[in-house]
Amino acid sequence: MSYVDKTLKCKECGCEFVFSANEQEFYAEKGFQNEPSRCSSCRQARKQNRNEGRRSGPREWYETTCSDCGATAKVPFNPTAGKPVYCNDCYQNHK
């Protein structure tokens, strides 16, 4: 199939941008059904904002008591009352 450059309008900033024939071919190869709705600048800004929203820094650990052996266990989530939490050794036994 032959592709021709298309001019599209960005839904974010309203600017026109070119959806090149090469980009269209790439989209087709990947099986993408929709044309891009944002220009490359807005796509990049959106991607940057998404990445900044992710957790950064060290993971928070919680101390609890293992439900099987009673040893102190550190886990990367806040334990919920009434649900069992296991130390590393006991967790391996439950797998």
66 and 84 assigned to the same domain: yes
Mean pLDDT of the chain: 90
- Between strands 6-9 and 16-19, the pairing is antiparallel
1 located within any domain: no
| Token pair listed for 85 | 């939490």
75 located within any domain: yes
Structural domain range at position 18: 6-52
Residue with structure tokens 């944002």?
38
39 and 10 assigned to the same domain: yes
Overall number of domains in the chain: 2
Give the C-alpha separation, 29 to 60, whole Å. 42
pLDDT digits (tens, 9 = 90+) for 40-81: 999 999 988 877 766 666 778 999 999 999 999 999 899 998
pLDDT digits (tens, 9 = 90+) for 47-57: 888 777 666 66
| Token pair listed for 21 | 């024939």
Residues whose CB is less than 8 angstroms from the CB of residue 59 and which lie 6 or more positions away in sequence, other chains included: 76
43 and 72 assigned to the same domain: no
47 and 66 assigned to the same domain: no
Q: Is the pTM of this model over 0.75?
A: no
39 and 72 assigned to the same domain: no
| Distance, CA of 52 to chain centre | 11
